[in-house]
């Protein structure tokens, strides 16, 4: 797969990265390049190998073969330099529950060799920015899920990283919280020119904020690019879906549709709804056939590919594409 | 006591900060004042322990036990249990009892391991279960620094507690028996306390090892306690069985009987509890001249006098080495295990 990051200077480069757990390949010959200042979404179902990939970038686990370069450094050889410049927020992030929010942040800051006075100033400022200023001196044990995620973001930012890696940052937060969090992430990445790598299985959220997405299935990156080019890729695959809605479904219509050259299959929905998959654009012919058979046509539309369809298509065909 | 600890810690951190500042070749010169992450973790762990309920409860038990043992020792001395052995009267504070309660060294050898286990059994797995381990490991710290810092913080706390208790017993002893220690007695008690710290350190490290191996804190605590009970109770029983099986008849050659005794002693010393008890006895009872078997021939013409401190130390040197070696081996195993573990959130 051709993966380009445009004109930007690459900060993450993965080449043929593979991680085997026994016989099972969690990540399989992954090639990926991410440029500076980019917001990249790593999209895939649970167990696709997203977290493993992230762990390999940080040197938290060793690749079986292949190489990774983060900021020009090798994670297995110099994990410390990378960790100094890369912030990582694990999924299901944990804090010291019996300590206050500010204590937790200062601890992280001091582990990064930031002197105590500066650490406190930075922690207060960041809590302000993520909207937790009032809760700064409350114990983390009393925080809600959304507050924890925001605190996690502050925790990641306190070392002033060049790259932040967020593993499932939106997991378990309500829709409004998700919107706020994503807004916060994009704003931060623009203001500070931070490269953001975001993993998620929620495509709509990824669609909102990412410059580019990579689709990840069973350890393989099966598609990569911005949303537009991904949907074009799908179109070129040669199948088009036309959605049809009639008041009632005339019996003759099945035959009429199958009689049209180029119709691959007809999927009947409830009542008069159906989707017709065809190898070329037959929208007009299908409408005509429906009217010709005496049906009262309510709606006909050619489906545009959103990320949803891309996701479905690739995940359904993941195995075929992967093989 | 907390103040004591903080003062020691403060001094240590300042020293380490300086050393580290010199070593850290200019990656972040502007922040030379910041202390190394290792000591940041030590500070935090130390604070966490002091504030924890677990430590408070443990400290209460141990303090009560020690006061009880002093009471028992003092009443034994008052009751005239000593008769002719007035030498080293001060040390007897630690070793004798009137039979109602065990003496100080028994309490330390019994409750010390418990303290070590209590401070270490959830060191790593609780961080893992709370999801803080993966966050911590994504900070620029070495993995071995992390377990070493956990160990150091707990050991520092153990040192503070044991020395505080030991000095407390000495002070109370001064009050009640009104008999000051000689310098030699003081140093004997001092080395005994150091040895106790080493011994507790062994159990601490063992429980940290289990906390790395087992994902559940309960499993790790139970395995540590099981091992502790095995060595304090069952090991002796098993040795008795072996002894009965391999004992030579009473009219066997001297050499055979000696060999048998040596074998049993050797087996016995595989237990850290035994090593500790032999070493403390030697330190606090200067009349102990040898730890192995000896023949009547060797005793003949020997002058019955206590050993000087240097000789006592020489006698227990192998024991101290053995305990430290066991601690280092445990740490080595923990290190290897931890380095190889994959850190994922909460798994």
Question: What is the per-residue pLDDT across A118-155, written as a single tens digit (0 to 9) for each?
Answer: 999 999 999 998 888 899 899 999 998 888 888 998 99
Question: Closest Cα of chain A to B331: distance in Å?
Answer: 21
pLDDT, tens only, B68-83: 888 888 888 877 766 5
Query: So what's the pLDDT on residue B301?
Result: 65
- Confidence grade of residue B199 (pLDDT, cut at 50, 70, 90): very high
Contact between residue A56 and residue A17 where contact means Cβ atoms under 8 Å apart: yes
Q: What is the mean pLDDT of residues A193-212?
A: 83
pLDDT, tens only, B7-42: 444 444 444 444 444 444 444 444 445 788 899 999
Q: Where are the alpha helices (DSSP H) in B121-182?
A: 125-130, 132-137, 143-177
Q: Do B140 and A94 touch (CB under 8 A)?
A: no
Residues of B in contact with A88 (CB under 8 A): 135, 138
Query: So what's the pLDDT on residue B346?
Result: 62
Residues of A in contact with B35 (CB under 8 A): 110, 113
Read off the tokens for A113. 């060799």
pLDDT, tens only, A93-112: 889 998 999 999 999 999 99
Q: What is the mean pLDDT of residues A265-275?
A: 79
Confidence check: pLDDT of B162 > 50: yes
Confidence check: pLDDT of B347 > 70: no
Read off the tokens for A58. 């940080």
Percentage of chain A exceeding pLDDT 70? 89
Confidence check: pLDDT of B214 > 80: yes
Question: Closest Cα of chain B to A12: distance in Å?
Answer: 17
Query: So what's the pLDDT on residue B131?
Result: 86
Cα angle at B153 between B46 and B335, to 5 degrees?
140
Confidence check: pLDDT of B169 > 70: yes
Confidence check: pLDDT of A236 > 70: no
- Confidence grade of residue B2 (pLDDT, cut at 50, 70, 90): very low
Question: Closest Cα of chain A to B324: distance in Å?
Answer: 30
Q: Is A305 left (phi over 0), alpha (psi -120 to 50) or beta?
A: beta
Question: Closest Cα of chain A to B16: distance in Å?
Answer: 14
Higher pLDDT, A229 or A55: A55
A64 touching chain B per CB within 8 A: no
| CB contact residues (below 8 A), chain B span 118-157, against chain A | 130-142
Query: So what's the pLDDT on residue B111?
Result: 87
Q: How many CB atoms lie within 10 A of CB A179?
A: 14
pLDDT, tens only, B233-272: 899 899 999 988 888 887 878 888 888 888 888 888 888 9
Residues of A in contact with B33 (CB under 8 A): 115
Query: So what's the pLDDT on residue A190?
Result: 83
Question: Closest Cα of chain B to A176: distance in Å?
Answer: 25
B37 touching chain A per CB within 8 A: yes
- Confidence grade of residue A303 (pLDDT, cut at 50, 70, 90): confident
Confidence check: pLDDT of B65 > 60: yes
Confidence check: pLDDT of B197 > 90: yes
Question: Closest Cα of chain B to A9: distance in Å?
Answer: 24
Q: Do B130 and A96 touch (CB under 8 A)?
A: yes
A83 touching chain B per CB within 8 A: yes
- Residue A268 bridge partners (DSSP): A274
Percentage of chain B exceeding pLDDT 90? 33
Q: What is the mean pLDDT of residues B290-317?
A: 75
DSSP string, A125-144: HHHHHTT-GGGTTSBGGG--
Instruction: Out of A81, A93, A113, name the one closest to residue B131 (CB).
Output: A93
CA-CA distances (angstroms) from residue A19 to A16, A32, A73, A199, A218?
Answer: 10, 15, 19, 18, 12
Confidence check: pLDDT of B160 > 70: yes
Contact between residue B80 and residue B92 where contact means Cβ atoms under 8 Å apart: no
- Confidence grade of residue A291 (pLDDT, cut at 50, 70, 90): confident
Confidence check: pLDDT of A90 > 70: yes
- Spacing of C-alpha B255 from chain mean position: 36
Query: So what's the pLDDT on residue A306?
Result: 62
B342 touching chain A per CB within 8 A: yes
Query: So what's the pLDDT on residue B12?
Result: 47
Q: B129: nearest CA in chain A?
A: A94
Question: Closest Cα of chain B to A186: distance in Å?
Answer: 22
B41 touching chain A per CB within 8 A: yes
Q: Do B40 and A110 touch (CB under 8 A)?
A: yes
Confidence check: pLDDT of B182 > 70: yes
Candidates A47, A56, A87, A90, partner chain B, best to mutate (most B CBs within 10 A): A90
Query: So what's the pLDDT on residue B33?
Result: 58
When the pLDDT of each residue in chain B is averaged and rounded to a whole number, the result is 82
B25 touching chain A per CB within 8 A: no
**CA dist., res. B243 & res. B245, Å (int):** 5
Three-state secondary structure readout of A87-114: EEECCCCCCCCCCEHHHHHHHHHHHCCC
Q: Do A111 and B36 touch (CB under 8 A)?
A: no
Cβ-Cβ contacts under 8 Å for A127 (sequence gap 6 or more): A101, A102, A105, A133, A135, A136, A151, A154
Query: So what's the pLDDT on residue A318?
Result: 46
* ipTM attached to this prediction: 0.78
Which domains does chain A carry? 10-225 (3.40.50.300), 233-322 (3.30.70.100)
Q: What is the mean pLDDT of residues B44-68?
A: 89
Instruction: Out of B44, B141, B346, name the one closest to residue A92 (CB).
Output: B346
Residues of A in contact with B44 (CB under 8 A): 107
Residues of B in contact with A155 (CB under 8 A): 135
When the pLDDT of each residue in chain A is averaged and rounded to a whole number, the result is 82
Query: So what's the pLDDT on residue B84?
Result: 56
Residues of A in contact with B134 (CB under 8 A): 60, 90, 94
Q: Do B140 and A90 touch (CB under 8 A)?
A: no
Q: B36: nearest CA in chain A?
A: A113
Query: So what's the pLDDT on residue B28?
Result: 43
Residues of B in contact with A60 (CB under 8 A): 134, 137-138, 342-343
Q: Do B37 and A110 touch (CB under 8 A)?
A: yes
A58 touching chain B per CB within 8 A: yes
- Residue A214 bridge partners (DSSP): A42, A224
A95 touching chain B per CB within 8 A: yes
Q: What is the mean pLDDT of residues B278-294?
A: 79
Query: So what's the pLDDT on residue A4?
Result: 46
pLDDT, tens only, A148-197: 888 998 999 998 899 999 988 888 788 888 888 888 888 888 888 889 99
- Confidence grade of residue A320 (pLDDT, cut at 50, 70, 90): very low
- Confidence grade of residue A252 (pLDDT, cut at 50, 70, 90): confident
Query: So what's the pLDDT on residue A1?
Result: 39
CA-closest candidate to residue B164, choices B336, B3, B289: B3
Continuous segment of H or E residues that includes residue A15: strand A10-21
Altogether, the residues listed in chain B come to a count of: 347
Query: So what's the pLDDT on residue A172?
Result: 76
Higher pLDDT, A261 or B149: B149
Confidence check: pLDDT of B192 > 90: yes
B234 touching chain A per CB within 8 A: no
Cα angle at B30 between A157 and A37, to 5 degrees?
35
Residues of A in contact with B55 (CB under 8 A): none
- Confidence grade of residue A307 (pLDDT, cut at 50, 70, 90): low
Query: So what's the pLDDT on residue B85?
Result: 59
Token pair 């029983």: residue: B237
Residues of A in contact with B130 (CB under 8 A): 94-97
Query: So what's the pLDDT on residue B190?
Result: 93
């Amino acid at each position: 797969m051709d993966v380009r990051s445009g004109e930007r200077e690459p900060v993450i480069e993965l080449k043929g990265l593979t991680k085997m757990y026994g016989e099972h390949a969690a990540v399989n010959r992954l090639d990926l390049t991410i440029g500076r200042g980019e917001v990249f979404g790593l999209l895939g179902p649970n167990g696709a190998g997203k977290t493993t990939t992230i762990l390999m970038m940080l040197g938290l686990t060793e690749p079986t073969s292949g190489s990774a370069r983060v900021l020009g450094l090798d994670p297995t050889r110099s994990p410390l330099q990378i960790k100094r410049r890369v912030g990582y927020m694990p999924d299901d992030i944990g804090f010291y529950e019996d300590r206050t929010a500010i204590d937790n942040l200062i601890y992280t800051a001091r582990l990064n060799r930031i002197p105590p006075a500066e650490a406190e100033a930075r922690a207060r400022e960041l809590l302000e920015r993520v909207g937790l200023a009032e809760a700064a001196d409350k114990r983390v044990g009393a925080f809600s899920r959304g507050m924890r995620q925001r605190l996690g973001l502050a925790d990641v930012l306190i070392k002033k990283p060049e790259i932040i890696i967020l593993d499932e940052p939106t997991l378990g937060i309500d829709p409004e919280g998700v919107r706020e969090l994503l807004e916060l992430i994009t704003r931060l990445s623009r203001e500070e020119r931070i490269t953001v790598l975001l993993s998620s299985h929620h495509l709509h959220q990824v669609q909102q904020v990412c410059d580019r997405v990579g689709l990840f299935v069973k350890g393989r990156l099966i598609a990569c690019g911005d949303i537009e080019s991904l949907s074009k890729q799908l179109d070129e695959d040669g199948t088009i879906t036309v959605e049809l809605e009639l008041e009632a479904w005339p019996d003759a219509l099945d035959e009429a549709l199958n009689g049209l050259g180029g119709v691959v299959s007809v999927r009947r929905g409830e009542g008069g709804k159906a989707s017709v998959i065809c190898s070329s654009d037959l929208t007009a012919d299908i409408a005509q056939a429906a009217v010709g058979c005496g049906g009262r046509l309510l709606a006909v539309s050619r489906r545009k590919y959103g990320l949803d369809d891309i996701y479905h298509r690739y995940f359904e065909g993941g195995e075929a594409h992967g093989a | 006591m907390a103040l004591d600890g903080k003062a020691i810690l403060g001094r240590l951190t300042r020293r380490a900060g300086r050393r580290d500042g010199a070593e850290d070749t200019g990656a972040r010169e502007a922040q030379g004042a910041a202390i190394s992450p290792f000591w940041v973790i030590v500070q935090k762990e130390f604070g966490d322990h002091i504030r924890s309920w677990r430590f408070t409860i443990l400290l209460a038990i141990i303090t009560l036990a020690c006061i009880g043992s002093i009471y028992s020792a003092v009443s034994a001395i008052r009751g005239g249990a000593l008769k002719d052995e007035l030498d080293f009267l001060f040390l007897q504070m630690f070793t004798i009892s009137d039979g109602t309660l065990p003496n100080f060294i028994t309490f330390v050898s019994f409750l010390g391991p418990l303290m070590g286990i209590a401070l270490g059994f959830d060191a790593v797995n609780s961080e893992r279960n709370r999801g803080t381990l993966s966050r911590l490991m994504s900070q620029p710290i070495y993995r071995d620094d992390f377990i070493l810092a956990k160990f150091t913080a707990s050991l520092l706390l153990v040192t503070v507690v044991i020395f505080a208790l030991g000095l407390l017993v000495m002070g109370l002893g001064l009050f009640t028996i009104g008999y000051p220690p000689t310098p030699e007695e003081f140093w004997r008690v001092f080395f005994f306390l150091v040895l106790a710290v080493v011994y507790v350190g062994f159990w601490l490290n063992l429980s940290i090892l289990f906390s790395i191996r087992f994902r559940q804190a309960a499993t790790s605590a139970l395995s540590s306690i099981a091992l502790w009970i095995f060595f304090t109770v069952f090991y002796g029983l098993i040795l008795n069985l072996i002894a009965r099986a391999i004992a030579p008849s009473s009219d066997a050659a001297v050499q055979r009987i000696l060999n048998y005794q040596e074998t049993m002693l050797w087996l016995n010393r595989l237990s850290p509890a035994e090593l500790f008890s032999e070493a403390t006895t030697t330190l606090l009872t200067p009349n102990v001249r040898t730890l192995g078997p000896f023949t009547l021939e060797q005793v003949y013409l020997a002058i019955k006098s206590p050993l000087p401190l240097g000789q006592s130390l020489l006698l227990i040197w192998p024991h101290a080495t053995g305990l430290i070696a066991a601690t280092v081996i445990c740490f080595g195993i923990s290190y290897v295990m931890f380095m190889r573990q994959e850190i994922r959130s909460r798994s």
